[in-house]
Structure 1
């Protein structure tokens, strides 16, 4: 087991511990203050019984989402570290640092690689202060989920600039999705101190464990509605999306912060 996995497991144990109420309130207050969390859409920090509860907090106020059927919305509150057209099979984790979607998605998705060549991609970085739940960017059907064990390097801007193939090295969960007759992928990338990635529709997925082999789950008629909560990170991390060629037109969002629910691209047809 890599040292990043061990560190993350220990942090995970601390984060899920429910300390006596007066201690937990103090921990929560320090966390909110030090990271300057905006809690205006959430319950007061004193109500969360552990750091995990605070990290994975639900919205207390329903958020407006773009309901246009042609629009894909951001699945997360995050920073767009890079987006654009895939160059063959290469995308950027950040300017000057390429990675291959073939390595990221693994050979198990090889049947669809030709569709993704010269398609579109977008990288969403969630910092520790962000809302950590992820939502459906459109109406779609999940065909498969792949859990790929790996390391847990940090995914902040510093590491994106120095760690080659970071996304493909880290543990990740891949959703293979279809929208009408088109395909897209959502890749949820683990990171240092992300004790777990949770998927509400698939309780069999357990990340950051001793599992070493790729786990594959296939579905029939697993339909998801735009805005549905898919699950959550237990700390900040990254989501990567790939769309097949000639499917969508991206908005130019590199370097910008986005909120779950806002438009990130539109279908071409």
Structure 2
């Protein structure tokens, strides 16, 4: 197959993927998936997992349980004790989740990259004009969770959480194909802004879980709150929560994205680059070495 035909074939595959996962009634399908995943039937669940495995690399070997009464139980499964140890070094910000790294690097002022040639302003993502200024010129990492991954996320350091801001939105797919085609996609989707600070010195840190098609449901255990498309509570949710590094923060009910944003003085940890695969607890960011801080 010559280069032109191969390119055309790949473009056609991307077009079909985009149409099938985005040019559909996204919110209605997300509600339907939420209902289906909650059906408690071990037989139906085994069948659904078998079909799921035909299309993904679902690995349940680390799961604490091996039999599930619903797809929801499988999506939100716990792992065996010690399966995701956190990097103990105090200078390290650990990955909050299993993920594939997307766009990452240093912020251009208050602007981050979504995909090559497409970027977005932090104030659009965060729903605030003031908050981005604290992170201007800092670092960010986009973490994409696929549907087959472990869906729980954990504290990246010993942190205090002061506020959660829920921002309702759409449910576009967040795969690389959609990110290349939909401008400011993260700023359009349902998301939450978790404002935290390191217990050691008060350094601010943001975690922004972003929902997507078939997901749109995030459980935060530190405030015992389920956020989804039907949520009608307050937009800003004050909280006072202390979490130790590696402690569970919550989970997605399918797979999605977490954007981690740190202020100047932090840099990407060794080996972090677009396309890298991570496990929760691995080094994600680190304090910039002396003389390298912005």
Distance (Å, rounded) in 2 between the aligned partners of 1:210 and 1:148? 10
Counterpart pick for 1:207 among 228, 232, 241: 228
Aligned counterpart, 1:52: 72
Contact 1:11 1:195 in 2 (8 A): no
Aligned counterpart, 2:262: 243
Aligned counterpart, 2:90: 69
Secondary structure of the structure 2 residue equivalent to 1:40: coil
Contact 1:82 1:122 in 2 (8 A): yes
Contact 1:120 1:250 in 2 (8 A): no
1:80-99 mapped onto 2 (5 Å cutoff): 80-99=101-120
Q: Deviations over 1:193-235 (max 9, x none)?
A: 0041110112344311163x86111124x21110011000000
Query: TM-score, with normalisation over the residues of structure 2?
Result: 0.84
Is 1:15 matched up with 2:37?
yes
Aligned counterpart, 1:228: 247
Structure 1: unaligned runs, 5 residues or longer: none
* Structure 1, 32-41 or 63-72: larger mean CA deviation: 32-41
Distance (Å, rounded) in 1 between the aligned partners of 2:65 and 2:261? 36
Distance (Å, rounded) in 1 between the aligned partners of 2:203 and 2:125? 20
Structure showing greater radius of gyration is 2
Is 1:264 matched up with 2:284?
yes
Secondary structure of the structure 2 residue equivalent to 1:242: strand
Distance (Å, rounded) in 2 between the aligned partners of 1:44 and 1:219? 32
Residues 195 and 91 of structure 1, relative CA distance in 2, 3 Å threshold: closer
Residues 223 and 200 of structure 1, relative CA distance in 2, 3 Å threshold: same
Alignment RMSD (CA, Å): 1.9
Q: Deviations over 1:120-174 (max 9, x none)?
A: 0000000111111111111111011011111111101110110101000000011
**Structure 1 residue 27 displacement after superposition:** 2.1
Distance (Å, rounded) in 1 between the aligned partners of 2:230 and 2:35? 13
Is 1:174 matched up with 2:193?
yes
**Structure 1 residue 22 displacement after superposition:** 2.8
Counterpart pick for 1:165 among 184, 189, 195: 184
**Structure 1 residue 184 displacement after superposition:** 1.3
Q: Deviations over 1:43-62 (max 9, x none)?
A: 464x1111111111110242
Aligned counterpart, 2:149: 130
Q: Deviations over 1:88-114 (max 9, x none)?
A: 11101122210111110012xx33322
Residues 152 and 115 of structure 1, relative CA distance in 2, 3 Å threshold: same
Residues 103 and 112 of structure 1, relative CA distance in 2, 3 Å threshold: same
Counterpart pick for 2:121 among 92, 100, 105: 100
Structure 2: unaligned runs, 5 residues or longer: 1-23
Query: TM-score, with normalisation over the residues of structure 1?
Result: 0.91
Q: Deviations over 1:61-96 (max 9, x none)?
A: 422321111111111111001110000111011222
Is 1:40 matched up with 2:69?
no
Counterpart pick for 1:217 among 237, 243, 253: 237
